[in-house]
């Protein structure tokens, strides 16, 4: 009896844990065995996320699947993997020109609805959300609109570095972010200008799976995904885009159907076995990692907050050392877990 084929996920920064969990579950459901740690040249499959992995992996002799969903780098993949048996590039649109030795697969990313959806289905009255780090993109009108709505108390913003626009925010774990999306009627998306119309924001699949409408920039939904409302500007009028919990439930149902069908289609295009979804044990394994990431983020926030509170002036040397220790632990835990509720550039 032959052993299961082995695969490894390679990312330049392992920032998008939501993507990594979806990808792992997708290939586990296809019969692959995940191999963590060092990249073995004899692996059956190497999955590339978030751009160029660098030259140390040129000896890989198996298959390579590249998910080009960030749109930040142009990489010569056949040159990067000269010994690979096959290289497939998964992106929404066909590269022009398509390099020789590269097979294009129209698609985005695998999405596993059952891993993210909350039960029972509930909605609470509250402000719309925006969950993402501040994006350094000058005087972008959409970002300025978001900041203005947040300053007037109309939108709740989570993520890092929004203090540059005068907003006090903090990051979220993936578990916290999904709980908030599950209780919200709508949220705001925001992409870099160079990404608009070429790829999708992570919120465009995550929020609708919870029945949360995504209010997004004009021209950012070329595929007509369910649960996305494109607008020319973010304004107070868009806050009334969802009128009932029945609409939220319909968004969830349509998004669930869309992403299940898209993931099944992706498996066929990649010549994988017919996709039937991950097992309960596979879902539980990734669920434990998600819970651990949440605990690291939550405790990191508490330690950092405690370090600030414990030092009223005058500050003794002993208290100063305690403060620095607590703040350092908080930064370490949060930095290791990427506590922004999602990637900053999607």
- Mean local confidence (pLDDT), 8-36: 93
Residue 308 has pLDDT above 70, yes or no: no
Percentage above 70 pLDDT, the chain? 87
Average pLDDT in the chain: 88
The pLDDT score that the predictor gives to residue 301 is 83
The pLDDT value recorded for residue 13 is 79
Report long-range pairs for 53-59 (Cβ below 8 Å, ≥24 apart): 53/10, 53/11, 53/12, 53/80, 54/12, 55/80, 57/10, 57/81, 58/82, 58/83, 59/83
At residue 283 the predicted structure's pLDDT band, cuts being 50, 70 and 90, is very high
pTM, two decimal places? 0.87
Give residues with Cβ within 8 angstroms of 10, minimum separation 6: 39, 46, 47, 48, 49, 53, 57
Question: What are the tens digits of pLDDT across the range 214-262?
Answer: 999 999 998 999 999 999 999 887 766 666 888 999 999 999 999 999 9
Q: What DSSP string describes 5-49?
A: PEEEEEESS---HHHHHHHHHHHHHTT-EE--SSPPTT-SEEEEE
Q: What does each C-alpha distance from 24 to 84, 113, 137 come to in angstroms?
A: 21, 14, 32
- Quick one: pLDDT band at residue 38, thresholds 50, 70, 90? confident
Angle at 85 between CA 83 and CA 89, to 5 degrees: 100
pLDDT of residue 221: 94
In the predicted model, what is the mean pLDDT of residues 264-270? 97
pLDDT over threshold 60, residue 153: yes
Q: Work out the percent of the chain whose per-residue pLDDT is above 90.
A: 61
Instruction: Average the pLDDT over 102-119 and give the result.
Output: 96
Q: What is the pLDDT of residue 243?
A: 67
C-alpha separations of 184 from 148, 214, 295 in Å: 20, 10, 23
Q: Is the pLDDT of residue 1 over 50?
A: no
The CATH superfamily of 115-256 is: Glycogen Phosphorylase B; (3.40.50.2000)
pLDDT at site 281? 96
pLDDT at 295 over 90: yes
Residue 165: which pLDDT band, with cuts at 50, 70 and 90?
Answer: confident
Span of 19-33, 132-146, 317-331 with lowest mean pLDDT: 317-331
DSSP 129: E
Please give the angle made by the CA atoms of 110, 264 and 34, to the nearest 5 degrees.
50
């Amino acid at each position: 009896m032959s052993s299961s084929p082995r695969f490894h996920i390679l990312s330049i920064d392992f920032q998008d844990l939501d993507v990594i969990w979806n990808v792992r579950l997708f290939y586990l459901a296809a019969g692959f065995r995940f191999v963590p740690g060092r990249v073995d040249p004899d692996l059956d499959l190497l999955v590339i996320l978030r751009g160029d992995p660098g030259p140390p992996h040129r000896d890989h002799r198996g298959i390579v699947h590249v998910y080009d969903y960030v749109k930040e780098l142009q990489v010569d993949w056949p040159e990067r993997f000269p010994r690979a048996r096959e290289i497939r590039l998964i992106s929404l649109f066909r590269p022009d020109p398509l390099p020789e030795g590269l097979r294009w697969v129209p698609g985005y990313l695998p999405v596993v609805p059952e891993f993210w959806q909350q039960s029972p289905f509930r909605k609470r009255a509250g402000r719309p959300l925006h969950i993402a780090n501040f994006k350094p993109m000058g005087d972008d009108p959409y970002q300025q609109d978001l900041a203005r709505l947040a300053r007037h108390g109309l939108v709740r913003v989570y993520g890092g570095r929004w203090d540059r626009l005068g907003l006090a925010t903090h990051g979220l774990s993936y578990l916290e972010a999904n709980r908030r999306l599950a209780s919200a009627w709508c949220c705001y998306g925001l992409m870099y200008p160079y990404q608009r119309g070429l790829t999708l924001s992570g919120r465009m699949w995550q929020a609708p799976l919870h029945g949360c409408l995504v209010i997004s920039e004009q021209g950012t939904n070329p595929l007509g995904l369910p649960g996305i409302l494109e607008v020319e500007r973010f304004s107070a009028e868009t806050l009334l885009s969802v009128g009932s919990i029945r609409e939220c439930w319909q968004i969830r149902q349509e998004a669930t159907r869309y992403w299940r069908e898209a993931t099944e289609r992706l498996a066929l295009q990649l010549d994988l076995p017919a996709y039937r979804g991950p097992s309960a044990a596979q879902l539980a394994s990734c669920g434990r990692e998600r819970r651990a990431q949440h605990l690291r983020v939550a405790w990191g926030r508490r330690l950092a907050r405690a370090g600030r509170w414990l030092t009223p002036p005058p500050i003794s040397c002993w208290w100063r050392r305690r403060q620095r220790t607590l703040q350092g632990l908080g930064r370490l835990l949060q930095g290791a877990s990427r506590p922004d509720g999602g990637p900053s550039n999607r």
